[in-house]
Amino acid sequence: MAGGFTLSMYPWVYLAQSQPDGSWSEEYREQPHMTPAEEAALPAEEREELLAQRNSFPDLPLVNYTTQYGMGCFEGLKAFPQPNGKLKIFRPDENGKRMARSMKGLMMPVYPESMFVDSVREVVRLNKELGFAPKYDASWEKDGFVTAEAVYIRPFSFSEPGIGLNLSVRPWVVTVTTPVGSYFDLDAPSKAITTSCVRATHGGTGWIKCDANYVIPTLEKKRVQAEGYMEAVFLDAREQLYIEEGSSCNIFFYLKSGKLVTPELGDTILPGINRASAIELAQDFGVDVEERPITIDEAMSEGTECFVTGTAAGVTYLESLEHKGTTRVFGDGTIGELTRKLLYTLKGIQYGAEPDKHGWMLKV
């Protein structure tokens, strides 16, 4: 399959809606489909038509607070094929907690964590029963699962009808799943460059995984990609001195001192689940991890390795970082020893090749 995200949605979807009494209604809906083999054999135009039908929800309102003002939030997590033919989901409880925080931050009724975990597991299970899930491929082990496939799970909120500025008091939570491969282009240079654009400001919504937070990062990511870079790196809004995030991920620097540093969480930093996992794994390795402010000057002068983390990115190294015309190449420009160890260990846990000592994987 092609790398990164696709809109080849699997047939079973999940919808829940907040009710006036505080409860949530739930529905698992089977959208139009054939068998995976029959769909693969369809002419391209017919297959696109079928996929468009799967992406159609006529009962959800077009004009609402989400489509008009970005008043919504979402999550992203994955289910990973295992050598025994099963699927396991990576840390869905943490995604459920984060979605609850996001909805609370947007002053919505909070979707319960327990319902989140149960629903993502069930929608993955229903699709797997129909054959819509990748199967484990032993060849993935050769590159540490960098090119492996998985099931991408996208739960998102969607508001009730509305056109004036207002809050969502009866939102839906919709969960869809798709196949996913490597997010970054493995053949492209893994260069990054700082941007003067601001992703988040203090007192804002930078800590929420809300729709609106992704407009500026997407614009900047596409702009720098057109200039030959893989990633844009954002600095703080006040002084433009401190590193905050990449355009789609948290960021880490391994310093000459032997310390691994990542910006501390606050109201401008998204609390990434792969971020937290990388910190725990590095500590398992005996690495001194610091969550603290790091200036662009320190990162450029003291950094020996740099990598980003995220559901899509996993653990992805950056070969260099450019700032105001100066470029810092990390190490020899290839993936560093610590970054590689974190990547292989995390992927190994997710795909069942390494022991899950932290209990992160949930059986489907």
Query: Helix, strand, or coil here: 102?
Result: helix
Instruction: Give the per-residue pLDDT at 248.
Output: 79
As a whole number, mean pLDDT of residues 114-137 equals 97
Contact 323, 296 (CB under 8 A): yes
Distance between CA atoms of residues 81 and 3, nearest Å? 16
Concatenating the DSSP letter of every residue in 113-173 gives HHHHHHHHHHHHHHHHHTT-S----GGGGGGTTTT--EEEEEEEEEPPB--SS---SS-EE
18 pairs with which residues across the strands?
A: 24
Q: How many CA atoms lie within 13 A of 233 on its CB side?
A: 31
pLDDT tens per residue, range 239-285? 999 999 998 799 999 999 999 999 999 999 999 999 999 999 999 99
Q: Is the pLDDT of residue 44 over 70?
A: yes
Instruction: Give the per-residue pLDDT at 1.
Output: 38
Instruction: Give the per-residue pLDDT at 6.
Output: 78
Q: Other C-beta atoms within 10 Å of 22: how many? A: 8
As a whole number, mean pLDDT of residues 296-300 equals 98
Instruction: Give the per-residue pLDDT at 189.
Output: 78
First to last CA, the chain: 23
Contact 328, 310 (CB under 8 A): no
As a whole number, mean pLDDT of residues 230-239 equals 96
What residue ranges define each of the domains in the chain, with the CATH number in brackets?
12-180 (3.30.470.10), 191-350 (3.20.10.10)
Q: Is the pLDDT of residue 300 over 90?
A: yes
Distance between CA atoms of residues 260 and 306, nearest Å? 9
Distance between CA atoms of residues 354 and 348, nearest Å? 5
As a whole number, mean pLDDT of residues 20-38 equals 97
pLDDT tens per residue, range 154-207? 999 999 999 999 999 999 999 999 999 876 566 667 999 999 999 999 999 999
Q: Rounded to the nearest 10 degrees, what angle do helices 273-284 and 337-350 cross at?
A: 110
Average pLDDT value over all residues in the chain = 95
Contact 185, 147 (CB under 8 A): no
